[in-house]
């Protein structure tokens, strides 16, 4: 009896285990693997063509799209559905002005194929509507998002993808490719029966399967409206160069633009151009010229090498180890006696070389490093250059004289100069720039936030920062940057004209033009850096562009 009971227990246990395994298998097939099975089942009865890439949006700070802002219409052909080629061509001719010979050749070549294909891109929306109203067998007009639209904003920030494999290559597209890229594009599909005929009532459908990786969105700190205004002004004034607009108290990049720009839909035409349109000049390094005098003044005041009341003499030049360094205005009358504020306002080369020689290379380089020169910012942007800052033991007196006026070994990016100005505005506390504020899922819910903590890195004293702001205000009030003054709001900054060592056809030296400053004077909201490659004069070229941008932004 005990033996029989034991056998029954084992049988019950066996059936219980088998039943459990069946339930688990059923759960796997119906819940976990169901989307894949559905896709495999549909693939037998669906003829589909991808019409939108599986890629998340890149959005501005207000969740306005910087990608997929435009759509185009295409004619899609399902060859297996075409019954009468001549009739199909005639109907298309009635509604669309298409190149008849090319369309006919393509249709005849691919007719009989089971794979759908695009016949023509870029048709008018009204034409697309007429084609769909005619219900031509095997022909459907579909709307497709254009990833980069036409005249895309912030092209160098957004970057571009390799359309062949939907992989991000540059900019945010490249930096956040794993998050942006999904595995299932959207399709236009024809649901057919076993004889490959369209199932009545189902027609052509747009379909998106949810299996695999889902695409997420990247939210930037960029303000689309400010970016638009910046780029509109750049299109009128800057052939080659960059502009950075930054919120000084947070480090948020509100606009970043480089010229020349490019159309990511037609990259091949830009690859061989001498003007390097794919280069993001906002994060590329150039000699900063006299903007670097802000660093010299900061180091000298912090180390008490000079005071605001010290008086210097500017005869128009200074000799260092038998090398003569002339002022930018050498052909004019000597400036004579100047305080450090007046020397900054008039951008006196002789005075700032005197100050740098008195200060010494160690203290000057130490301040520059604290401000972020010679290293990439925490923006960590694709292809960002760290610039160049020499070590103190590399600087002989002549080299130090060159460094004092932002020449020689010194190189910096527009973003680094924006960080310097923001530090001065923030009473000496350095704020790290950033451009990505959040990641969101397809429904818009925040996955991760990148909002900056309150800045905590003090670079210079509050008193030194206040004095530097006084000097920068003098630049726009009566100095070299008067063209950057913003009526009604005020502004302050520093001009720069950096020698390249090259000569133009007229025999004049070719200079890069800079203006780095902030506005308004009271409670500054914006740090703006303008760089014009080969722009010659910071005061005459870059400063007016700064003013135009500031006025456009402040009118909001």
Query: How confident is the model over 464-510, as pLDDT tens digits?
Result: 999 999 999 999 999 999 999 999 999 999 999 988 888 887 778 88
pLDDT mean over 305-333: 88
Question: Tell me, what's the pLDDT at 203?
Answer: 61
Q: 242 vs 30, which has greater pLDDT?
A: 242
Domain map (residue ranges) of the chain:
2-32, 224-262+279-554
pLDDT at 550 over 70: yes
- Encode pLDDT of 135-145 as tens digits: 887 788 888 78
Average model confidence (pLDDT) for the chain? 85
- Please check the confidence at residue 402 and state whether its pLDDT lies above 90: yes
Query: Is 0.85 surpassed by the pTM of this model?
Result: no
Percentage of the chain modeled with pLDDT above 90: 52
Q: Which residues contact 413 (CB under 8 A, 6 or more apart)?
A: 282, 283, 284, 285, 286, 377, 384, 385, 387
Per-residue pLDDT at 27: 61
- Residue 43's pLDDT band, with cuts at 50, 70 and 90, is very low
Residue 44's pLDDT band (boundaries 50, 70, 90)?
Answer: very low
Residue 556 has pLDDT above 90, yes or no: no
Using pLDDT thresholds of 50, 70 and 90, give the confidence band for residue 310: very high
337 has a pLDDT exceeding 70: yes
Q: What is the pLDDT of residue 215?
A: 81
Q: What is the pLDDT of residue 40?
A: 47
Sheet of strand 186-191: strand arrangement: 46-52, 186-191, 204-208
Summarised one tens digit per residue, pLDDT across range 95-131 is: 776 666 667 776 666 655 667 777 777 778 888 888 8
Q: What is the pLDDT of residue 326?
A: 86
DSSP string covering 436-503, please?
A: EEEEE-TT--EEEE-PPPPP-EE-S-HHHHHHHHHHHHHHHHHSTTGGG--TTT--EEEEEEEEEEEE
Whether pLDDT at 54 is above 80 = no
- The token duo for 498 is 């950096």
Q: How far apart are CA 381 and CA 83, in angstroms?
A: 54
Structure tokens at 113: 């194929």
Average pLDDT of the segment spanning 55-71: 89
- Is residue 168 pLDDT above 60, yes or no? yes
SS (H, E, C) 506-546: CCCEEEEEEEEEEECCCCCCEEEEEEECCCCCHHHHHHHHH
Topology given in CATH for the domain delimited by 224-262+279-554: Beta-lactamase (3.40.710)
Structure confidence at residue 192 (pLDDT): 63
Q: How confident is residue 301, by pLDDT bands cut at 50, 70 and 90? A: very high
């Amino acid at each position: 009896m005990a033996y029989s009971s034991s056998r029954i227990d084992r049988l019950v246990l066996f059936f219980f285990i088998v039943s459990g395994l069946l339930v688990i298998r059923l759960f796997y097939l119906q819940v976990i693997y169901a989307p894949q099975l559905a896709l495999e089942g549909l693939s037998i009865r669906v003829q589909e063509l991808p019409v939108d890439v599986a890629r998340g949006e890149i959005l501005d700070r207000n969740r306005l799209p910087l990608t997929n802002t435009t759509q185009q219409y295409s004619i899609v052909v399902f060859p297996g559905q075409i019954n009468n080629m001549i009739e199909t061509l005639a109907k298309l001719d009635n509604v669309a002005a298409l190149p008849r010979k090319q369309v006919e050749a393509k249709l005849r070549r691919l007719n009989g194929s089971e794979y759908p294909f695009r016949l023509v891109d870029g048709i008018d929306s009204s034409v697309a509507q007429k084609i769909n109203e005619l219900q031509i067998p095997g022909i459907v007009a579909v709307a497709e998002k254009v990833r980069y639209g036409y005249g895309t904003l912030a092209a160098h920030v957004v970057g571009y993808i390799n359309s062949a494999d939907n992989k991000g290559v540059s900019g945010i597209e490249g930096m956040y490719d794993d998050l942006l890229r999904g595995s299932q594009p959207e399709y236009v599909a024809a649901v057919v029966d076993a004889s490959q005929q369209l199932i009545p009532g189902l027609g052509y459908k747009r379909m998106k399967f949810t299996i695999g990786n889902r695409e997420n969105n990247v939210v930037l700190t960029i303000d689309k409206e400010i970016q638009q205004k910046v780029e509109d002004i750049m299109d009128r004034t800057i052939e080659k160069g960059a502009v950075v607009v930054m919120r000084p108290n947070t480090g948020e990049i509100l606009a970043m633009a480089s010229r020349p720009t490019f159309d990511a839909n037609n990259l091949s035409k830009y690859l061989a151009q001498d003007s390097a349109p794919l280069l993001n000049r906002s994060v590329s390094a150039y000699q900063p010229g006299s903007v670097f005098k802000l660093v010299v003044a900061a180091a000298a005041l912090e180390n008490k090498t000079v005071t605001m009341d010290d008086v210097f003499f500017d005869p128009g030049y200074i000799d260092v180890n038998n090398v003569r360094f002339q002022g930018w205005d050498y052909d004019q009358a000597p400036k004579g006696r100047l305080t450090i504020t007046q020397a900054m306002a008039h951008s006196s080369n002789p005075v700032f070389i005197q100050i740098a020689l008195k200060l010494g290379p160690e203290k000057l380089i130490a301040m520059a490093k604290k401000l972020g020169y010679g290293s990439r910012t925490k923006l960590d942007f694709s292809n960002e250059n760290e610039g160049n800052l020499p070590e103190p033991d590399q600087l002989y007196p002549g080299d130090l004289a060159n460094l004092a006026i932002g020449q020689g070994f010194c190189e910096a990016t527009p973003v680094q100069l924006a960080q310097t100005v923001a530090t001065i505005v923030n009473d000496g506390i350095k704020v790290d720039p950033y451009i990505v504020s959040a990641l969101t899922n397809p429904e818009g819910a925040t996955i991760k936030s990148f909002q900056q903590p309150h800045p905590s890195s003090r670079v210079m004293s509050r008193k030194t920062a206040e004095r530097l702001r006084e000097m920068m205000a003098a630049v726009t009030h009566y100095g070299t940057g008067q063209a950057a003054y913003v009526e009604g709001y005020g502004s302050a900054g520093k001009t720069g004209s950096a020698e390249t060592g090259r000569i133009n056809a007229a025999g004049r030296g070719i200079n890069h033009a800079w203006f780095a400053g902030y506005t308004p004077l009271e409670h500054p909201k914006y740090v703006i850096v303008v760089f014009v490659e080969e722009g010659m004069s910071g005061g005459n070229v870059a400063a007016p562009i700064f003013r135009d941008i500031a006025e456009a932004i402040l009118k909001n």
